[in-house]
Amino acid sequence: MKTTRLLLLWFAATTPLVAAAENPEFAASTSKGKVKVFILAGQSNMEGRGFPEPLSWQITQKKYRQRYTHFIKDGDYDAFAKKVAETTDPSNNRKTPTYLWSTRRDVWINYLGKHGDLTVGYGAPREGFGPELNFGHVLGNHYDEQVLIIKTSWGGRALARGFLPPSSMLSDAEYAKMVADQNATNQAWNDAEPAKIEAYNKQVIEKNKTAKKKGRLRKFRPRPIVTVAQYKDQFGKDYRNMVSEVHTCLAELGERFPGYKNQGYEIKGFVWFQGWNDQYQDHWLSYEKNMANFIRDVRKEFKAPQMNFVIGQMGHDGMKPDKEGSPRDYIKKAQAAVPHQDEFKGNAVCVKTDRFWDMEAHAIYTGPGGWSKDVNRWRQFGNDRGYHYYGSPWFFAQTGTAFGQAMIKLLE
């Protein structure tokens, strides 16, 4: 365990995590101990919506740059800014700038087909990042051993559907009834509206003859009639993909990470950040049950009965109170309640993320005229909608740090 870890953790919430040039811990681990594995899963905000545009601008500003010293190569602000300026000069005809990000070799990351040393660029937008970056820095500072993050996340997924754990699956008879009801409704609509569908599609064909490529309209199709197997397959599909991705990565450690020396591995923890899609179709009503089953099933799957769990609580709209009894209120209370169940006390925790809502991005987005009034100013702080926390790099940096701190507290 690294001797600097306690000091670093104490400062982590308000100061950078140490610049690469000053930190020998960015070098590859020389420990022969087992690789410490952490799984990160969820939907779009676990994918990571920290956009590079506001991140790179803030790095060039003295007011903000200290947040991100460890993000940039050698902690060299001037070299970073110079490279961005050179590659964004209109005479270069480049579509995207070149960023000098730091690389942390004692922390590996695997994210759906992409793998390597920890750096910016493992988020959903190109060159973006999510909670994994600061999470990895916190855990990398904590361990002498090599750390591996396996991130498995997809946008627009509900715990009650795509990520539904095996223990929450319904019986075949229940799925059959749901399919019969849905097919009956869809067939009735198809039978009642064929003329309307045909008329609409004729209009689409005509408009598409003169429309630009991006503006082409889609034809309206009849509602699908599905089999029980097709319908049931959508439940737990992402859970199964998550499990498969983790097992495959661990089986191919030597191929994906040349620095692996057959020292073995141990799965130490799991971070879950999700919730938005469960606000619809009554999914929120089963969130607490599904979350508890998810933890149990994941621990069973990976043979880690005491695997530590960090649940990132939804934090949309910051500290603004949620409407009592609303789907979001229901989900947030469920996320907070699960770690208090007897079997999860001491090995699971809920981390509030509303405190990291970027108020500067919020002020621009919701101010007079909105973000579009001054797009250039907006892209200094965000580049997305509120459900993606505005694409604020500061939100995702703080959230990753908090997840890492919470995980270490559970580990100890």
In this prediction, residue 14 carries a pLDDT of: 43
Backbone angles phi, psi at 283, to 5 degrees: -60, -30
What stretch of H or E contains 291?
Answer: helix 287-301
Amino acid in the structure at residue 94: R
The SS3 of residue 118 is: strand
Cβ-Cβ contacts under 8 Å for 129 (sequence gap 6 or more)? 48, 50, 55, 120, 121, 122, 123, 393, 396
Task: Please compute the mean of the pLDDT values over residues 131-135 and round it to a whole number.
Answer: 98
The SS3 of residue 37 is: strand
**All structural domains of the chain:** 5-169+235-411 (3.40.50.1110), 172-229 (no CATH)
pLDDT of 57 higher than 80:
yes
Task: Please compute the mean of the pLDDT values over residues 22-29 and round it to a whole number.
Answer: 71
Place of tokens 């690389």: 103
Please tell me the distance from the alpha carbon of residue 82 to that of residue 88, in angstroms, as a whole number: 10
pLDDT band at residue 283 under the 50/70/90 scheme: very high
Q: Could you tell me whether strands 104-111 and 114-118 are parallel, antiparallel, or unpaired per DSSP bridges? A: antiparallel
Higher-confidence residue of 13 and 215: namely 215
pLDDT band at residue 32 under the 50/70/90 scheme: very high
Task: Please compute the mean of the pLDDT values over residues 40-45 and round it to a whole number.
Answer: 98
Please tell me the distance from the alpha carbon of residue 141 to that of residue 132, in angstroms, as a whole number: 14
117 strand-pairing partners: 108
For 11-15, 53-57, 65-69, 183-187, which range has the lowest pLDDT when averaged over its residues?
11-15
318 CB burial (10 A radius; 0-12, 13-18, 19+)? middle
Residue-wise pLDDT for 194-211, tens only, equals 888 888 888 888 888 877
The answer to whether the beta carbons of residues 226 and 177 sit under 8 Å apart is no
Please tell me the distance from the alpha carbon of residue 219 to that of residue 215, in angstroms, as a whole number: 13
Residue-wise pLDDT for 378-396, tens only, equals 999 999 999 999 999 999 9
Pair of tokens at residue 169: 């699956």
384 CB burial (10 A radius; 0-12, 13-18, 19+)? buried
Please tell me the distance from the alpha carbon of residue 160 to that of residue 375, in angstroms, as a whole number: 37
In this prediction, residue 215 carries a pLDDT of: 65
pLDDT of 281 higher than 70:
yes
Amino acid in the structure at residue 252: E
Pair of tokens at residue 244: 């498969």
pLDDT band at residue 11 under the 50/70/90 scheme: very low
pLDDT band at residue 220 under the 50/70/90 scheme: confident
Q: Mean pLDDT highest for which of 20-34, 147-161, 204-218?
A: 147-161
pTM of structure: 0.90
Task: Please compute the mean of the pLDDT values over residues 94-114 and round it to a whole number.
Answer: 92
342 CB burial (10 A radius; 0-12, 13-18, 19+)? exposed
Pair of tokens at residue 230: 């097709």
CA 173 remoteness from chain centre: 34
Please tell me the distance from the alpha carbon of residue 304 to that of residue 284, in angstroms, as a whole number: 28
Task: Please compute the mean of the pLDDT values over residues 230-257 and round it to a whole number.
Answer: 97
Residue-wise pLDDT for 337-381, tens only, equals 999 999 999 999 999 999 999 999 999 999 998 999 999 999 999
